[in-house]
Amino acid sequence: MENAKSVGEKLVALCREGQNLRAIETLYSDDICSVEAMSGEGFPREMQGKQAALGKGKWWSENHEVHRSTVKGPYPHGDDRFAVIFDYDVTSKPMGNQRIQMEEVAIYTVSNGKIIREEFFFKGG
C-alpha cells in the first residue's frame, strides 16, 4: 500500500502540470472529506465525497486565471499525512477580476493508499 510520501509525490507532480482534477480522480478516496480554512461564500466549509471535491476543483479552475503557480512538497508527517504548499498568482473572477497572490498550506491524510481528508490553511486578509 502506498504511504503518504508516495501519494504526495504523485499529487505534487500532477498539480505542477495543472492536472489538479486528475489528481482528485486518481488519488482521492470516494469518501474524501475536504475542509476549507474558513466558512466562505458559495461552498460549505466541509464537503464529503469525490464528486463534491471535483465540483469544487472545477469551479475554482473556471473562476481563476492562473498566471503562475508554485507547488512545494510533499512534506510527510509519519506514514499517513503530508503537507503541500501552494502559491498562486491568479486573476479571480469572484473578486471582480482582481489579480491576487494566494498562498496556502494543505494537509492530506492517506488511508489504504488513497487521500481521505484534505484540510486547507489559508492566510486571509
Q: Which residues, 6 or more positions from 62, have their beta carbon under 8 angstroms from its beta carbon?
A: none
- The Cα–Cα gap between 115 and 106 comes to 12
CB of residue 104 to a copy of itself, shortest distance in Å: 6
CB of residue 82 to a copy of itself, shortest distance in Å: 7
CB of residue 43 to a copy of itself, shortest distance in Å: 15
Nearer to a copy of itself, 3 or 63 (CB): 3
**Which amino acid, one-letter code, is at 54?**
L
Query: What residues numbered 84-103 form the site for a copy of itself, per CB under 8 A?
Result: 85, 103
Q: Does 125 bind a copy of itself (CB under 8 A)?
A: no
Q: Does 78 bind a copy of itself (CB under 8 A)?
A: yes
What secondary structure does DSSP assign to 32-75, as a single string? EEEE-SS--SSS-SEEESHHHHHHHHHHHHHHEEEEEEEEEEEE
20, 32, 34, 74: residue in contact with a copy of itself (rule CB under 8 A): 74
Query: What residues numbered 9-68 form the site for a copy of itself, per CB under 8 A?
Result: 35, 37-38
- The Cα–Cα gap between 79 and 6 comes to 10
Cα angle value 32/38/44 (rounded, 5°): 55
Which residues in this chain contact a copy of itself in the complex, by CB under 8 A?
A: 35, 37-38, 72-78, 81-83, 85, 103-105, 107, 119-124
